[in-house]
Structure 1
Amino acid sequence: MNRTHHPCTHCETPVPRAAGYCPGCQTKLCGGAPRRLYLFALVAAIAIGAACASALPATEPWAGWVIGLAALVSAWGLLDQLHVNRVSFRRNRTDRPD
């Protein structure tokens, strides 16, 4: 899956991989994982950190937050790797016909 161009989902124009907008219809290209997955990873990492902090001795609650931070960095890195070839085309709401 090493393509140099993606077809635009709105106008079928071939769009170069590094482009930010479709040259045919000016639709914005967005790559990577959806933002909601990053938000989910953040919430999960906070929950993991809180659970680990409460399970550890009272003298070392910071270690749980370090574990949560490691989980966050790992989750974001995994999301980046899993969605490296994902491209979505997004039009502004003002560009859509009424």
Structure 2
Amino acid sequence: MLQCPHCLTQVPRGAHVCTGCAAELHYGIPEKLLAVGLIAATIAGLYVGNGMNGGAVVGTIAGFMVFGGIYACLQKVFKDRVVFKRNYRTTD
């Protein structure tokens, strides 16, 4: 069980919404960090591909391998990450 930091309601692990305040739960790797990993893998693939004959295929394979390694590391680091996101409405 998780405790919502906004309303202190007990929420079961795996839920997508808090039953007390409707905060969204996000698990795992942050999407922005995953995008950075994809960009790094693409740059590595281009770098390797430019340095070899038949570079497109070799670069693509290298890029996939780099991204696979980055993804595996990020999954290990962020395996227990849970973020509660709530939109607060303000009245004017």
Q: Tell me the TM-score normalized by structure 1.
A: 0.84
**Which residue is equivalent to 1:68?**
63
Tell me, yes or no, if structure 1 residue 77 matches structure 2 residue 75.
no
Tell me, yes or no, if structure 1 residue 86 matches structure 2 residue 81.
yes
TM superposition shift of 1:38? 0.5
Tell me, yes or no, if structure 1 residue 26 matches structure 2 residue 19.
no
- Amino acid in the other structure paired with 1:86: R
Question: Once superposed, what is the RMSD of the aligned Cα atoms?
Answer: 1.2
TM superposition shift of 1:76? 1.4
Structure 2 unpaired stretches of 5+: none
Q: Residues of 1 paired with 2:67 and 2:26: CA distance?
A: 22
Q: Look up the SS of the partner of 1:40 in the other structure.
A: helix
Q: Residues of 2 paired with 1:29 and 1:68: CA distance?
A: 31
Q: How many residue pairs were aligned?
A: 90
TM superposition shift of 1:64? 1.8
**Which residue is equivalent to 1:16?**
12
- Residue identity (%): 31
Structure 1 unpaired stretches of 5+: none
Q: Look up the SS of the partner of 1:42 in the other structure.
A: helix
Q: Residues of 1 paired with 2:66 and 2:89: CA distance?
A: 40
- Amino acid in the other structure paired with 1:69: F
TM superposition shift of 1:96? 2.7
Q: Residues of 1 paired with 2:59 and 2:86: CA distance?
A: 42
Question: Which of structure 1's runs of 4+ aligned residues deviate more than 6 A?
Answer: none
